[in-house]
Amino acid sequence: MPEQSSPLDLAEGDPFGPHNLPYGVFSTPDRAGEQRVGVRIGNHVLDAGAAALALGSPYAQLLAQPDLTALLAAGRNAWRDVRRALTAWVTVPAHRADIVPLLHPLDTVTLHLPYQVADYVDFYASEHHATNVGQIFRPDGDALTPNWKHLPIGYHGRAGTVVVSGTDVVRPAGQRKAPADPAPVFGPSVKLDIEAEVGFVVGTGSEHGRPVPLADFREHVFGLSLLNDWSARDIQAWEYVPLGPFLGKSFATSVSAWVTPLEALDAARTAPPARDFPLLPYLDDAEEDEPGGYDLRLSVAINGQVVAEPPFSTMYWTAAQQLAQMTVNGASLRTGDLYGSGTVSGAEPAQRGSLLELTWNGRDPLELPEGERTFLEDGDTVTITAWAPGPDGTRVGLGEVTGRIVASA
Rounded CA gap, 378 and 78, in Å? 44
Rounded CA gap, 39 and 103, in Å? 9
Rounded CA gap, 162 and 344, in Å? 19
**Contact partners, residue 99, CB within 8 Å, separation at least 6:** 8, 46, 51, 54, 89, 90
Neighbouring CB atoms inside 10 A of 37's CB total: 27
Angle at 317 between CA 146 and CA 403, to 5 degrees: 110
Rounded CA gap, 178 and 181, in Å? 5
With CA atoms as reference, report the closest residue to 165 among 297, 240, 256, 262: 256
The strand ranges marked E within 5-145 are 23-28, 31-41, 44-47, 103-105, 110-112, 120-123
Is 128 an annotated catalytic residue? no
Rounded CA gap, 317 and 163, in Å? 25
Rounded CA gap, 23 and 58, in Å? 18
Identified catalytic residue from 44, 104, 129, 220: 129
> What is the Cα gyration radius of the chain?
22
Residues involved in catalysis? 129
